[in-house]
Amino acid sequence: MTTEQHPLQQELDNNLTKFPQQVARVFHGRGRFFPALESINIEWYPPVLFVQCYEGELGSDVRSALEQVFELHANVETVLVQSRPWPDVENQILFTRRNEEQSLPLEFHTPLTEELVCHVSLGKNRNTGVFPDMRSGWAWVQEHASGKRVLNLFSYTSVFSLFALKGGAKKVVNIDMCGSATKTAQLNHELNDLLDERVSIWKKNILKSNSQIAKQSKFDIIVLDPPPFHKGSFKGWSDYQKLLRRCRSYLKVDGIILAALNNQQVTFAEFASDILETIEAPATIKQLALNEEIKELEPDKGLKLALIELG
């Protein structure tokens, strides 16, 4: 008699086989597609499997499934677990093939694609600065960036910028107020031989930088991916609306805004309606689908990527 494979193990087997050497969200429990596993997301930063547990500790069945995956996939060097019931964060190396003791955080370069790499720091902060559930957005920007001017707002470690430049962007302006993120952004461009005159990396509060941004030549593509809330700098939807209205003036007539919203209380249709009401201008709004590994029980309520083209 064969034992039925745990759904976590099955999903990880499938996705690690698809993405053996590429950053990806390889288990999306927060999408509520997998019953009893809603508190777990797992991201693959080759060679580290990064397990994010949002409530309590991992159950014995989950630990067992992770052990099976670790034994089966030799390219997984380390399994790192981060327990993050708000506001606490606790990190533990669950399995590793390394003989020497590993200190946290784990700092290394990892492949985004066959051609691009980025620096990650795992085992300290909640935010890795990469956001692999955005893979379809990265691909869209790379596909449409040739000869374009790109504004990357809330750029974090500027992964979108790497894809834009790889796609032939003429200019990319990245803006984020976090000093450590902008330092990593500079390193990411250096690692890929992309730190040249086409790239600007600003450490600024975006909401207080309207005049500096407005002085730039207008942009063909704007990436708008703010945090849901950030104390002292971003108040949620009210500030999102303010930026949407400003983006109208930053954008060329035939330009496109790629706007992201990660709020499971809002459908894409509601998001699109709110955008139209906010910008008070005719616009075509299309939904950019997420990659197939991002499984959602209610796809319309997961991460939303809107392509906004002003009429």
Residue 3, pLDDT > 80, answer: no
Euclidean distance between CA atoms 39 and 158, whole angstroms: 27
Query: Average of pLDDT values for 226-253?
Result: 85
Question: What mean pLDDT, rounded, does the chain reach?
Answer: 94
When comparing pLDDT for 237 and 78, which is higher? 78
Decide: 308 and 285 in contact? Cβ < 8 Å: yes
Decide: 103 and 122 in contact? Cβ < 8 Å: no
| pLDDT bucket at 26, cuts 50 / 70 / 90 | very high
Closest to 62 in 3D by CA, of 8, 14, 16, 10: 8
Domain stops at, among 68, 97, 122: 122
Digit-coded pLDDT (tens) for 248-285: 999 999 999 999 999 999 999 999 999 999 998 889 99
| pLDDT bucket at 231, cuts 50 / 70 / 90 | low
Question: Are 145 and 217 contained in the same domain?
Answer: yes
Question: Are 69 and 154 contained in the same domain?
Answer: no
Question: Are 107 and 144 contained in the same domain?
Answer: no
Could you tell me the two tokens for 226? 């703010």
For residue 266, what pLDDT is reported? Answer: 93
Question: Are 109 and 175 contained in the same domain?
Answer: no
Percentage, residues of the chain above pLDDT 70:
97
| pLDDT bucket at 12, cuts 50 / 70 / 90 | very high
Question: Are 37 and 100 contained in the same domain?
Answer: yes
**For 18-29, b where at least 16 C-beta lie within 10 A, e where not — what string?**
ebeebbbbbbbb
User: Is residue 201 situated within a structural domain?
Assistant: yes
Burial class (CB in 10 A: 0-12, 13-18, 19+), 219: buried
Q: CB count, 10 Å around CB of 115?
A: 10
Question: Are 92 and 162 contained in the same domain?
Answer: no
Residue 1, pLDDT > 70, answer: no
Domain stops at, among 62, 90, 122: 122
This prediction has a pTM of 0.95
Decide: 78 and 110 in contact? Cβ < 8 Å: no
For residue 110, what pLDDT is reported? Answer: 98
Q: What is the CATH number of the domain that holds 70?
A: 3.30.750.80
Euclidean distance between CA atoms 90 and 218, whole angstroms: 44
Structural domain containing residue 189? 132-310
Domain stops at, among 64, 94, 122: 122
* Helix ranges, the chain (H): 7-18, 60-72, 135-144, 159-166, 179-191, 210-214, 237-250, 268-279
| pLDDT bucket at 246, cuts 50 / 70 / 90 | very high
Residue 172, pLDDT > 60, answer: yes
Question: Are 151 and 274 contained in the same domain?
Answer: yes
Q: What is the CATH number of the domain that holds 287?
A: 3.40.50.150
User: Is residue 127 situated within a structural domain?
Assistant: no
